[in-house]
A and B are shown apart, each in its own frame.
Chain A
Amino acid sequence: MDTKERLQEVFRDVFDDEEIVIDGNTTAADIDGWDSLTHVQLVVAVEDEFGLKFSMVETNSLHNVGEFIALIDKKLKEA
């Protein structure tokens, strides 16, 4: 599984919706229930899944799923 597929599983788990399909352009407006509360849940779940740690600044400056995937890949390379 590549980063996008793994991330999609995390999304389905956090938002409790098996039908979620993500792509690079997906934003918070496209996913039901993606607010500041669930955003933190999502970040923690992603940290668990990929074994990474993000800073608040990194995760708050994301604009879409594509940027999130890029951030994960960058962190995975550094690790």
Chain B
Amino acid sequence: MIDISTKSLFFVILIIFAPFLLRNGSKWRKYIFLILNSLIIILTASSVTQFIVTVLWILIPFGVARIFGRAGKCKSLIIVLLVFVYAYLAKYDLIFSTLHINYIFAFRILGLSYFLFREIDYIVQYDYLKEQNHRLGLIDYINYVTNFYTLMAGPILRYKEFTDDFYKYDGSEGMIPLSKDELLKQLDRVVNGYFKVYVISAVFNYYAKYWYDGLGGHSGLLKEVLAFVIFAYLNCWFIYFNFSGYCDIVIGAAALSGMTIHENFNKPYMSKSVVEFWNRHHITLSEWIRDYIFTPLYKWFLSVPFKKKILFSQVLALFITFLAAGIWHGTTLDYLMYGIFQGLGIVVATLWKSKRKKWLGKARNKKYENSMVVITITRIVTWMYISLTFSFTGYEIVKLFVK
């Protein structure tokens, strides 16, 4: 089994050879990507059965989109089914252990959840794209779903975005090589990314672990709380440098092969509220859950059960969306808590903004929002809150309290 995470030699080789994939406008380009993507799926498979499950997990949604393309109701039902199968493959103990269902075909598939995001996008967009005579063929679909650059952890591209970009030079004359400046810029980004992941984030991770391991051994509650807070603040920088560095590597490397990948970070710790934070951190995930969880829920709440109750519908839809996103991150109780805290943060920020607007009026609210003191304080508070919630990802926090 080979490893295609950014630390593997294999990935470095892929980056070095990336310019050879830059056959823009060439009719062979999609086949080159198809072979490479398929090869990675085959090489990362741990057994024949796992490989078969992976192939089915990729191909079934393609068939579903074609067969049920026009049937809106069926499509929603099938997406619910896909999510259920995903939960089974990812071994969600909260559901399946309670139901006493055994995991016979549940294998750890590389990038499993990211496959699901892309598959749902393809299914939902299928009708619309077909109307526009957009390319929807099997090879483009496979290249989209299994694109090795974004296989592991995103950024999450949309099908239309991916294909538009993939064929952007079609019709123009042959290959368009990268300019020297562009090449150096992207290489610089990749090297910076590696530095962020293997030096900066590693240091934060080392000290975060150190403070986490020390928890429970301090004398007095105050010292314990302080140690926890230090751990959480170190850990949040580990997450930021690790994930944004990873995205730098992926986006830079993909650019070397002529592929544009959506940015995933925009200075998240400059955010003035939890809402703003999610517009700046893991942007492609936020946009995905906005389009496929929040919008349908909110729209349904507004038009059926809670007509005219705008704020209530908004807050409820936001909470459910972030709870779902939290649970998606992992199968343990810690991730449930993570989802609940994200949801609460979003709800409080939304309510506060709405009430504030009413109390202060539009003009005074603008003045409030632009005040330097308010900006500084809200940035610090947001960072502190997010850091505390992030401690639930990757560490066993619930265990610390329930002993």
Contact = CB atoms under 8 A, between A and B. Distances in A.
A40 B124 contact: no
Interface in A41-78: 41, 43-44, 47-48, 55-58, 60-61
13 contacts: A40-B295, A40-B302, A41-B302, A44-B302, A44-B303, A47-B303, A56-B291, A56-B292, A56-B299, A57-B125, A57-B127, A58-B128, A60-B291
Interface string B329-370: 000000000000000000000100000000000100000000
Nearest to A54: B299
Interface of B: 124-125, 127-128, 290-292, 294-296, 298-299, 302-303, 310, 314, 350, 362
| Interface residue SS majority, chain B | helix
B314 A37 contact: yes
Contacts of A32: 362
Given A37-B314, A41-B310, A56 B124 contact: yes
Given A36-B290, A40-B295, 9 more contacts: A36-B294, A36-B295, A40-B299, A44-B303, A47-B303, A55-B128, A56-B124, A57-B125, A57-B127
A23 to B, nearest CB: 23
Given A36-B290, A56-B291, A44 B299 contact: yes
A32 B296 CA distance: 24
A56 B314 CA distance: 17
Contacts, number: 35
A39 B299 CA distance: 10
| Interface residue SS majority, chain A | helix
Contacts of B314: 37
A55 B128 CA distance: 9
B307 to A, nearest CB: 9
B298 A57 contact: no
Contacts of B125: 57
A48 B304 CA distance: 12
